[in-house]
Amino acid sequence: MPPPAFLPPAVRSLFRGAPLQRLQHVGPIQSATPSAASIRARRAARTLVMVDAGPERPTAAPPTGARRTDLTLTDPADLALMVAHLKREHFDKGYCTYPIKTVCDGELIDVQFSFPFEPKLSPHYAALYNSRDERSQLYAVSPNTTDMKKYNRINCEKMGALLAPNSAYGDTEMVSLFYSMMYYLNDQTAHFKLPEEEIQYELVDELNDNVLQYLSIFLGVFEPRDAADLERIWDFLEFYQPYFNKVGGKIVLDAKYSGQTPPQVALVTKIAGYAAGRFGATKNITQIIYEVIRYVKGIKQEIKIRCDKSFTLNLAEYDAFRDQVTSSPMAHSVTDLTHDAFSYKAYTNPVFNDLENLTSQIITYVNDVCTCDRERLDDDPFNSVFILKNRDGLNFADACDLVVGEVVKKTAKFLETKDRLLAEAADEEGRAAIAQKIKTREDSIIGYMMHEVCCVTDGYARDHKPLMKEYLEKAMFGEASSGAL
């Protein structure tokens, strides 16, 4: 039986052979980036209406016995219906392409992303969703409570259930909490998007202090297996080293830097405690600590560049920046530990690190297309759509096409890197371990794609794209849904 990271030949052929010919209907790129003129010519007739993409688009009959025509995210069963539909009508038929239909500054964004990975929703999603009120209390220092309206915007349970669909309940919850930690920290860094004269610089110090406390909590559960693990983490701290000391084989925050209790202390303590209690006795959890440090360092860098309004990034610099501040590697480090075929060795392999970074970049670029209008309104320059728009003098729709093309190239590189890792495995045990890690990242990519496709309820993780809602309801329930729109 092939390792779990292998895909059916019919599916893998989407990204094999002469220059990605099956992807001609996906976006602007086949083997090279198209010119801006060719993009404009192809888009000339495009209008802000639903369009038929051609005979390859799957058409589904309404589900037997279906009486309703409206999709929400407030009923967990609806997300299950959407994912099942997309799996059945796309992946199972070898049509691994998924649409994103939205608007940016009045321009229709109508693109398609292709990923040859199987969509799946965790069987624990309903239980996770129905316990969100309890989970929300992790986000406030007592006696304060969390406003559920804000918490529902995060909808971290949806993220965990889609991006880690094969884990046990507790492990899926931890993945969800890592994503929610990222969302809350992002909310805090969003303040620094404001014009320079409106930034409250005392909030910079406050956030830096908070992040230091969070890092200390994670390092507090770190019990190095050997000197090499200790030194790997110590060296990776870099500019955070002066705040810590090595004491008795552990890394401890210097007492003079202990500050006020930060707002997410309960959340971070729960994640760190779970990782140590669930895995610490039997497996090496160093990578969880490593990825938290990577993310925290990225937050520090994000604060710096957001406060410098003259700062610009080219596409390669943007990739390197997003490699640091994407939360998926933290989530992956948890999911990796849940498998019997776990090996720590892969994390020190530069080729595997390339795969991890490609995963972050693919997810980021999909997010950039889906959020470009919101980030335009926020005057947020750190988005691949805006970088390419400014570089080539394009409108938003054309720039989104170029971003889709970049995703095509990065996905092809991901599959090449996957094949190399499997081919270079020393033995079958090593191959099984690396295959499982690859599968975790494939799940993450397609799970994020599902997260963005299934955006049908305003207020949940900012999940509302009216054109996507219309598309899914029409695809799943037929023309009868049009009266409910």
Q: Write out pLDDT tens, residues 396-426.
A: 999 999 999 999 999 999 999 999 999 999 9
Query: 275, 444, 273: which is closest to 355 by C-alpha?
Result: 444
CA geometry: angle 47, 97, 480, nearest 5 deg: 60
What pLDDT was estimated at residue 90?
Answer: 97
Question: How far is Cα 347 from Cα 78, in angstroms, rounded to an integer?
Answer: 37
Domains of the chain: 122-195+309-457 (1.10.600.10)
Question: How far is Cα 210 from Cα 265, in angstroms, rounded to an integer?
Answer: 9
Question: How far is Cα 404 from Cα 111, in angstroms, rounded to an integer?
Answer: 7
Mean pLDDT along residues 346-367: 97
Mean pLDDT along residues 322-331: 92
Q: How far is CA 40 from the centre of its chain?
A: 30
Q: What is the pTM of this model?
A: 0.85
What pLDDT was estimated at residue 68?
Answer: 61
Q: How many CA atoms lie within 13 A of 243 on its CB side?
A: 17
Mean pLDDT along residues 297-318: 89
Question: How far is Cα 115 from Cα 466, in angstroms, rounded to an integer?
Answer: 23
Higher-confidence residue of 41 and 396: namely 396
Question: How far is Cα 322 from Cα 324, in angstroms, rounded to an integer?
Answer: 5
Among the residue ranges 43-52, 134-143, 155-164, 347-356, the one predicted with the least confidence is 43-52
What pLDDT was estimated at residue 150?
Answer: 77
Mean pLDDT along residues 126-155: 84
Mean pLDDT along residues 327-348: 94
Question: How far is Cα 209 from Cα 250, in angstroms, rounded to an integer?
Answer: 21
- Is the pLDDT confidence value at 20 over 50? no
What pLDDT was estimated at residue 71?
Answer: 94
CB 435 within 8 A of CB 3: yes
CB atoms within 10 A of CB 244: 20
What pLDDT was estimated at residue 59?
Answer: 32
Query: 259, 241, 239: which is closest to 251 by C-alpha?
Result: 241
Instruction: Please give the DSSP secondary-structure letter assigned to residue 167.
Output: S
| Residues in contact with 152: Cβ distance below 8 Å, sequence separation at least 6, in sequence order | 132, 459, 460
Q: Which residues pair with 107 in a beta bridge?
A: 104
| Selection from 19-28, 101-110, 374-383, 459-468 with the highest mean pLDDT | 101-110
Higher-confidence residue of 235 and 258: namely 235
Query: Mean of the per-residue pLDDT values for the chain?
Result: 85
Mean pLDDT along residues 341-370: 96
Structure tokens at 393: 């003098």
Q: How many CA atoms lie within 13 A of 91 on its CB side?
A: 18
- 276 burial type by CB count under 10 A (0-12 exposed, 13-18 middle, 19+ buried): middle
What pLDDT was estimated at residue 5?
Answer: 39
**What phi and psi, each to the nearest 5 degrees, are found at residue 57?**
-65, 130
Question: How far is Cα 411 from Cα 391, in angstroms, rounded to an integer?
Answer: 23
Question: How far is Cα 372 from Cα 386, in angstroms, rounded to an integer?
Answer: 8
Per-residue pLDDT tens digits for 362-407 = 999 999 999 999 999 888 888 999 999 999 999 999 999 999 999 9
pLDDT band at 479 (very low <50, low <70, confident <90, very high): low
- Is the pLDDT confidence value at 108 over 90? yes
